[in-house]
Amino acid sequence: MTAAKSTPQPMGPAFQDLAKLSRPALWILAARLKTLGLSVVPVLAGTWVAAQSGAWRVDVLFSAALAAAAIQIGTNLWNDAADASRGVDGPDRLGPPRMTSLGLLSAEHVRVAALLSFAVATLFGLYLAMLGGWPVVVIGLSSLAMGYLYSMGPYPLSGSPLGEGLVVAFFGVTAVAGTAYLNGAPVTLQSLCLGFVIGLPAAAVLLVNNHRDRVSDARSGRRTLAILLGVAGARRLYAGLLAASLLGALALGRPGPAGLLAFLPAAVLGALLIRALFRFPVSARLNRLIAGTSVFQILLLGAVVISGALSS
């Protein structure tokens, strides 16, 4: 049985503006590079953990970051094409524009680009597997499988309430602890806890996406966590994710009086993001919170590193 062909959305002002962009610009939008930090920050966190024990390698940092970024880009591209083929992205879509559903990029080309991204991830993953052995092979294959199953198969994970938990597991715990392990550091409680803390803002980004798209997702039969919790529940969960990540980072950093100042930017930004989510209606305005939550994650890791340096 072949997948249904996507029908381009009706042309409007937004389409006209996008149609003026160059092909590279359209591909950048399709890959959603704005949130690429979500895959790179855990690699940086794992490298920092390894450096604490005196073991870190430039080749591991480079390879792990590229592999993680390639998996995220491949997942985004595959999701762009897959959602268009199932008719999920309609004219009333509130999120960032999808190139396939708008007819600006062909589904076939987007799928090929996604497979190429997964191939790049596999190449760097093979190098990492030679360094880390079978545990890294299992992690790499599982990550690639999640990237594919997120949008494909009879029960795509993107339409289930499992998405946020999987993000914490793969973009947090696994990525941080796995990177530390590849650098020659043992998997410790510190690396696992830091991975959990770093994964919470990444899950919050997905929650914002699903909260924003609750109407179209429900219409297409999806049962995301945001839909199950309702509007008020999704807002409270978002606040809880950011608050828990900040408190967890403070516990890991164990900052003194000077180190506490390092957490101030993340705390202020987190409060502003939570306030905005509670004030904004379910609308395209929520897109502003996606990049902000990614920046919050970066500030959080920076605060842990700085506070650790000040207390040492």
Task: Give the residue with greater pLDDT, 96 vs 183.
Answer: 183
Contact 206, 172 (CB under 8 A): no
pLDDT at position 259 is 81
The Cα 19–Cα 11 span in angstroms is 10
CA distances from 163 to 10, 51, 166 (A): 30, 31, 5
Q: Is the pLDDT of residue 267 over 70?
A: yes
Q: Residue 260 CA to chain centroid, in angstroms? A: 27
pLDDT at position 93 is 67
pLDDT at position 70 is 92
**Terminal C-alpha separation, the chain:** 61
Contact 21, 99 (CB under 8 A): no
Note the pLDDT tens digit of each residue in 20-78. Answer: 778 888 888 888 888 888 889 999 999 999 998 888 899 999 999 999 899 889 888 98
Q: Residue 112 CA to chain centroid, in angstroms? A: 21
Q: Is the pLDDT of residue 13 over 70?
A: no
Prediction pTM value: 0.85
Of these ranges, 99-108, 156-165, 258-267, the one predicted with the greatest mean pLDDT is: 258-267
When pLDDT is cut at 50, 70 and 90, the band that residue 147 belongs to is low
pLDDT at position 152 is 66
pLDDT at position 273 is 98
Average pLDDT rounded to a whole number, residues 269-289: 94
Domains of the chain by residue range: 23-311
When pLDDT is cut at 50, 70 and 90, the band that residue 149 belongs to is confident
Q: Which residue has the tokens 């696992």?
A: 192
For 41-57, the DSSP string reads HHHHHHHHHHHHTT---
Contact 265, 307 (CB under 8 A): no
Contact 177, 191 (CB under 8 A): yes
When pLDDT is cut at 50, 70 and 90, the band that residue 312 belongs to is low
When pLDDT is cut at 50, 70 and 90, the band that residue 80 belongs to is confident
Q: Is the pLDDT of residue 311 over 90?
A: no
pLDDT cut 70: percent of the chain above it: 88
Contact 300, 246 (CB under 8 A): yes
pLDDT at position 146 is 75
Task: Identify which of 312, 229, 241, 306 has the alpha carbon closest to the alpha carbon of residue 274.
Answer: 241
Q: Which residue has the tokens 């306030």?
A: 275
pLDDT at position 278 is 96
**In whole numbers, what is the pLDDT of the chain averaged over residues?**
86
Note the pLDDT tens digit of each residue in 242-264. Answer: 999 999 999 988 777 778 899 99
Buried b (16+ CB within 10 A) or exposed e, 252-261: bbebeeebee
The sign of the torsion formed by the CA atoms of 287, 245, 33, 98 equals negative
The sign of the torsion formed by the CA atoms of 69, 9, 93, 144 equals negative
When pLDDT is cut at 50, 70 and 90, the band that residue 15 belongs to is low
The Cα 274–Cα 11 span in angstroms is 34
